[in-house]
A and B are shown apart, each in its own frame.
Chain A
């Protein structure tokens, strides 16, 4: 079968399998990115200069290394050094830690947007620094960072395609498309459907985040 719809009909199971792998990859990486990003952001805004510096090193490192290089280091490099890291762990960790650097910066600027005045006010009311963070700063910061986190999620969905093309050989959507293309040579058609697949994911994320934005909108 050939032609645009023919290709979809004939190879739907494989494309769907790849699509699900991509979702899984992005979901796990997202969790890693949010958790690590929050920790690093907390380091960055902490009063201790040392902790700030550690957070700074993390952000600079992971923002300046290309994701593909990170993948090679985490998989090929670590394995040669004897660490039994699996493709899944290397892939999700690389994507997650890479994005975490950006999440940390987004959270940090969100926290700053809240304004030092609020922290001072909270502290003068007798709240501890941790309570001030938790009850005053974070809820407000959260609202303002939703759009930025949204675009980071979309970036992650696109970056996940890099994982599939790398040495890790994870069978994500792009990889499945490449396998089909190498057999049938229906290049334009199969990559069109891969693009549609990624578009479905990014549009879903866009809609979801727009919903969240509206839900948590500050009513002035």
Chain B
């Protein structure tokens, strides 16, 4: 009697488990086979797939003002990257859908088909170019150091022995190791965590793109930029490796964006009004960008 009870209990448990698994995987199973299929086929399928779905999935930052961040009042994501994303979607005749892509997972998301395009303050480097493809540069940022006002950090040399924060998967992990090897590098997941760490005193400096640091200063004016430009960081839109048809279309869209004044308007709205610096749309080519950072 007891053994049949046990048998029944086990059977019920297994059926419940199977039901849960089916419910959980049922939705995603078809998606994954879709993306797996299109990933393996000719890369041009990316453009077809987007046009077929009527939507383009764009990975952006959710916590990096002024390029990609969630407006706390409206709940919508906005910023320079997001504006460019909308423009590209409009050019392709599809709806944009934005998802969060942090530095650490954006390339895997692109490779596995979770996103079609990355617009998340991503610097063009030769190393990344081996994994994915880039558009022509759409913005040139510079690496800078952020420190609290009144600290004695004035440049790279002062970072020796001090805790410095940057984000896992960003180019600055290497930059700091090369240019300030004696700094105590703390790697975290997002720039908002770096901001938290400098505000609570566990790190004394944050190293990343000047625009990202400007976003932090906007939120906390006890911080300031110090030192010279450390690096030149050309941002490019990320797309799947070998997707040349899609790359061409994206480049055309970006080119028009630069020419017809929308770039300048977006720049002024998101960056210019805070930094007070004038900028022109970048003319650097992809090849030149890769040469900068092989």
Contact = CB atoms under 8 A, between A and B. Distances in A.
A187 B201 contact: no
Contacts of B169: 182
Interface stretch (B65-73, B192-200, B261-269): B192-200
B187 interface: yes
B187 A179 contact: yes
Looking at A86, A178, A179, A185, which has the most chain B CB atoms within 10 Å of its CB?
A185
Contacts of B256: none
Given A167-B188, A167-B193, A178 B200 contact: no
Contact of B173 (A165, A179, A187): A179
A167 B168 contact: no
A91 B168 CA distance: 20
B107 A185 contact: yes
Interface stretch (A34-42, A54-62, A76-84): A76-84
Interface in A154-213: 165, 167, 169, 175, 178-179, 182-183, 185, 187
Contacts of B165: 169
A185 B131 contact: yes
- Chain A contact surface mostly: helix
B173 A76 contact: no
Contacts of B131: 185
B26 interface: no
B205 to A, nearest CB: 14
Contacts of A185: 107-108, 131
A90 to B, nearest CB: 10
A179 B168 contact: yes
Contact of B196 (A86, A167, A183): A167
A169 B188 contact: yes
B123 to A, nearest CB: 13
B186 interface: yes
B107 A169 contact: no
A87 interface: yes
Contacts of B127: 183
A79 B188 contact: no
Contact of A79 (B103, B107, B186, B201): B201
B168 A182 contact: yes
B104 interface: yes
Interface residues of B, number: 22
A169 B187 contact: yes
A87 to B, nearest CB: 7
A86 to B, nearest CB: 8
B247 to A, nearest CB: 20
Contacts of B187: 169, 175, 179
Contact of B104 (A80, A84, A178): A178
Interface in A46-97: 76, 79-80, 84, 86-87
Nearest to A170: B186
Interface string B114-149: 000000000000010001000000000000000000
Interface in A93-138: none
B179 interface: no
B166 to A, nearest CB: 11
A183 B107 CA distance: 11
B186 A169 contact: yes
Contacts of A179: 168, 173, 187
Contacts of A183: 127, 173-174
Contacts of A182: 103-104, 168-169, 173
A21 to B, nearest CB: 14
Nearest to A169: B186
Looking at A76, A86, A165, A175, which has the most chain B CB atoms within 10 Å of its CB?
A76
* 3 tightest A-B CB contacts, nearest first: A182-B169, A79-B200, A169-B186
Interface of B: 103-104, 107-108, 127, 131, 165, 168-169, 173-174, 186-189, 193, 196-197, 199-202
Given A169-B186, A179-B168, 13 more contacts: A76-B200, A80-B199, A80-B200, A87-B202, A167-B188, A167-B197, A169-B197, A178-B104, A182-B104, A182-B168, A182-B169, A185-B107, A185-B108
29 contacts: A76-B196, A79-B200, A79-B201, A80-B199, A80-B200, A84-B201, A86-B202, A87-B202, A165-B189, A167-B188, A167-B193, A167-B196, A167-B197, A169-B165, A169-B186, A169-B187, A175-B187, A178-B104, A178-B168, A179-B168, A179-B173, A179-B187, A182-B103, A182-B104, A182-B173, A183-B127, A185-B107, A185-B108, A185-B131
